[in-house]
């Protein structure tokens, strides 16, 4: 249980849903496909405090799934985001965050319940901002971070991250600075991973564009059973958004980092996935770009393109992924709306020199029965091809659901 700081009047949203999903290939196998019906009951909550000395934002869903033909065990699933902080004194803050996600264990295998595990990252610690004047400040931060996986064979860790950052305001629209950080993680396997990083940072704003980022160097060292391995490299991060016109936004986001697979990198950059069957330390690279557009008929178009690379340093194995998501939705009547999603995924694994490709299509209708009650229906198709025939599959599915907003 986590205590959430409360300031003023909290804004709470709560809804429940029930969905039934039929699939003709529940295990997503190349042969001996089995049909099944999944019944899922979910509860979703959202929470945000009013501005004040303490602030918190929370969103989460917990659900319980039952499989009619016992393709998988009945299970509880969940995801959660909590970001909170309190200003205990002038310039002195205490932060507390928690992120819960379901992640794939082996990226070469299909995304099924038997290949998923829950990953929970909890972090907390103080931050002090020392104002040196109207244009300069120094921030000191120390955080404790704990990562736990549901499956016992996965590597849990305890981590301490400390940083010092100097920031200078060059103008009303331009700021920059220097940041140094040091982290040390103790893994439950007995290994110890330390990372040292130094970066130059910047933030620039124009009338329709905002860009921020960092560029520097990093060194990672792994110690286990009396052996030590050290790697270093250039690290960077960029986040750019631009308003092309009043109804269209374009974004570009990327990062390169030296880390280990129990870190929160995959939570901060959701396009990236760790392969939990590989070695501990990883050089991660991810870049994504896309467009969000609104139309006069209240329709919307969302396009996202991404590419990621994971270089596992102990084994020198390389994994690459790329993908495209194209989504379109629009109202059909005052109560009915429709949506379409097209997705493409490409994966390359150096270890066995294999490539995978997957494409999925889905179409949905949503009916707003009342202000609080909605009904939905969806159909979809997914097909995966691979150099390894056992990884191929084809799946057709259909789903109906009902959702009620309590508040």
pLDDT in tens, 32-75: 899 999 999 999 999 998 778 899 999 999 999 999 999 999 99
Give the confidence band of 407 by pLDDT, cuts at 50, 70, 90. confident
Question: Which residues of 24-171 form beta strands (DSSP E)?
Answer: 36-48, 54-67, 75-89, 92-104, 116-131, 136-149, 157-169
From the list 270, 257, 120, 259, the residue with the least C-alpha distance to 185 is 259
Give the tens place of pLDDT for each residue, 303-334: 999 999 999 988 878 999 999 999 999 999 99
Cβ(293)–Cβ(248) below 8 Å = yes
User: Nearest-5° angle of CA 218, CA 132, CA 166?
Assistant: 10
Q: Which two tokens stand for residue 42?
A: 């979910």
Mean pLDDT of 289-311: 95
From the list 176, 245, 167, the residue with the least C-alpha distance to 207 is 245
Give the tens place of pLDDT for each residue, 64-116: 999 999 999 999 999 999 999 999 999 999 999 999 999 999 998 999 999 99
Q: Which two tokens stand for residue 126?
A: 């103080």
Give the tens place of pLDDT for each residue, 216-253: 999 999 998 888 999 999 999 999 999 999 999 999 99
Q: Classify the phi-psi angles of 12: left when phi > 0, otherwise alpha if psi is within -120 to 50, otherwise beta.
A: beta
pTM: 0.89
From the list 322, 324, 331, 326, the residue with the least C-alpha distance to 341 is 326
Spatial neighbors of 167 by CB under 8 A, at least 6 apart, are 136, 137, 138, 139, 175, 176, 177, 201
Q: Give dist(CA 339, CA 343) in Å, integer.
A: 13
Spatial neighbors of 388 by CB under 8 A, at least 6 apart, are 108, 352, 354, 356
| Residue 5 clears pLDDT 80, i.e. is over it | no
Mean pLDDT of 194-204: 97
Give the tens place of pLDDT for each residue, 348-373: 999 889 999 999 999 999 999 999 99
Q: How far apart, in Å, are the Cα atoms of 126 and each of 245, 340, 357, 361?
A: 40, 45, 45, 46
């Amino acid at each position: 249980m986590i205590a959430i700081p409360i300031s003023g009047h909290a804004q709470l949203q709560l809804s429940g849903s029930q969905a039934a999903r039929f699939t003709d290939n529940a295990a997503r196998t190349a042969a001996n496909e089995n049909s099944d019906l999944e019944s899922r009951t979910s509860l979703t909550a959202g929470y945000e405090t009013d501005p004040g000395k303490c602030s918190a934002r929370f969103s989460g869903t917990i659900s319980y799934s039952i499989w009619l033909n016992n393709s998988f065990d009945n299970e509880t699933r969940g995801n959660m985001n909590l970001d909170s902080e309190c200003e205990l004194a002038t310039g002195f803050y205490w932060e507390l965050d928690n992120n819960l996600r379901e992640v794939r264990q082996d990226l070469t295998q299909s995304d099924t319940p038997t290949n998923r595990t829950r990953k929970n990252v909890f972090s907390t610690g103080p931050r002090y901002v020392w104002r040196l004047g109207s244009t300069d400040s120094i921030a000191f931060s120390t955080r404790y971070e704990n990562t736990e996986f549901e499956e016992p064979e996965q590597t849990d860790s305890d981590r301490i991250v400390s940083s010092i950052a100097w920031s200078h305001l060059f103008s009303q629209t331009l700021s920059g600075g220097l940041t140094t950080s040091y982290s040390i993680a103790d893994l439950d396997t007995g290994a110890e991973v330390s990372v040292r990083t130094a970066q130059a940072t910047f933030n620039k704003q124009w009338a329709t564009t905002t860009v921020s980022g960092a560029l520097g160097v990093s060194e990672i060292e792994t110690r286990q059973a009396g052996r030590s391995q050290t790697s270093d490299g250039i690290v960077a991060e960029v986040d750019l958004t631009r308003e092309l016109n009043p109804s269209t936004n374009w974004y570009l986001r990327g990062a390169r980092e030296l880390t280990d697979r129990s870190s929160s990198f995959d939570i901060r950059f959701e396009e990236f996935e760790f392969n939990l069957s590989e070695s501990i330390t990883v050089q991660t690279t991810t870049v994504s770009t896309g467009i969000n557009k609104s139309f006069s008929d209240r329709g919307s178009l969302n396009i996202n393109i991404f590419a990621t690379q994971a270089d596992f340093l102990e084994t020198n194995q390389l994994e690459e992924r790329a993908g495209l998501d194209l989504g379109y939705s629009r109202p059909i009547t005052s109560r009915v709306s429709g949506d379409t999603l097209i997705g493409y995924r490409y994966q390359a694994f150096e270890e066995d020199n294999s490539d995978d490709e997957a494409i999925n299509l889905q179409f949905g209708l949503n009916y707003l029965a009342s202000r609080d009650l909605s009904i939905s229906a969806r159909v979809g198709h997914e097909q995966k091809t691979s150099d390894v025939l056992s990884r191929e599959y084809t799946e057709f599915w259909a789903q109906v659901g009902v959702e009620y907003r309590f508040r």
